[in-house]
Structure 1
Amino acid sequence: MGMGPDLSWMFDFAGTVLPIFFIVMLGIAAITAGKGLLRWSRNNSSPVKSVSARIVSKRSELRQQSQDESGASRASTAYYLTYELEGGLRMEFKVEGSEYGMSAEGDNGVLNYQGTRYHGFERHIRYSTAE
């Protein structure tokens, strides 16, 4: 009969639970890396396509990161454009802020992409006949 609390649960925790936790975390990291490599490989093997498209939607996403020791927080904005191809298929791509700012819903042009990689959009210039 011992004196004090039973500490055998700590050895079970360190010997069983922690290794399982680390194995699960490594598995999640490996799956995430594998998906990224698979997407990269598929994009590389896809042909670069140039198709007629129209911008149907613009959206931005504000991402705020937690505060650091000084109490300052950081924010970043991601910009997305949704294109509709001639067959009705819609595709959304992440774009730079300057591209987002120069784009308007309803713009027509040629969309250049490779798999899920955005390569640009060449607008058809419309001239107004109104005086």
Structure 2
Amino acid sequence: MDYGFFGIMDTIFPLMFGAVFLLIVGVMILALVRSASEWSSNNSSPVLSVDARVVSKRTNITRHMSQADSSHMTRNSTVYYATFQVESGDRMELRMSGREYGLLAEGDRGKLTFQGTRYRGFERRLI
């Protein structure tokens, strides 16, 4: 029984499709587990307030494109980050809202409040 090229493809395609499907599902499950782990870790961490300085700010803009009917729709989402340096010299980059991001300037000094990797606030100290 020689099925030729198409006979081989009838056998291999379902295996490849199944493997790719399992890989995608596995990556999604891994992402959910990591997210839940970080959330749990942050919740079990103490809320700390330390003297710190804003050393840099950055944004990460993601463009989402979709096609509805015959028109293309674009939506952007922005994630805001600030890097703080504490008295020991250690630095940490924390994600925050756009409102909080807009209130910070590089070089600001004050009291940083955080919980694990979760930004809780920054109280600027006027010199």
Which bin holds the TM-score, normalised by the shorter protein?
0.7 to 0.9
Q: Which residue does 1:16 correspond to in 2?
A: 15
Cα RMSD after superposing both structures: 2.1
CA distance in 1, matches of 2:117, 2:84: 13
CA distance in 2, matches of 1:6, 1:61: 47
SS of 1:88 mapped into structure 2:
coil
Deviations 1:21-41 (A, max 9, x none): 222222111211111111111
Bigger strand share: 2
TM-score by length of 2: 0.85
- 1:62 is displaced (CA, Å) by 2.1
SS of 1:57 mapped into structure 2:
strand
Q: Which residue does 2:100 correspond to in 1?
A: 99
**Structure 1 unpaired stretches of 5+:** 127-131
TM-score by length of 1: 0.83
Q: Which residue does 1:77 correspond to in 2?
A: 78
Aligned length: 125
Which is greater in Rg?
Answer: 1
Of all paired residues, the percent bearing the same amino acid is 41
**Structure 2 unpaired stretches of 5+:** none
Bigger helix share: 2
Deviations 1:43-62 (A, max 9, x none): 11111111110101111222
Q: How does 1:1-131 map to 2 (within 5 A)?
A: 7-69=6-68, 70-126=71-127
| Mean CA deviation greater in 24-33 or 104-113 | 24-33
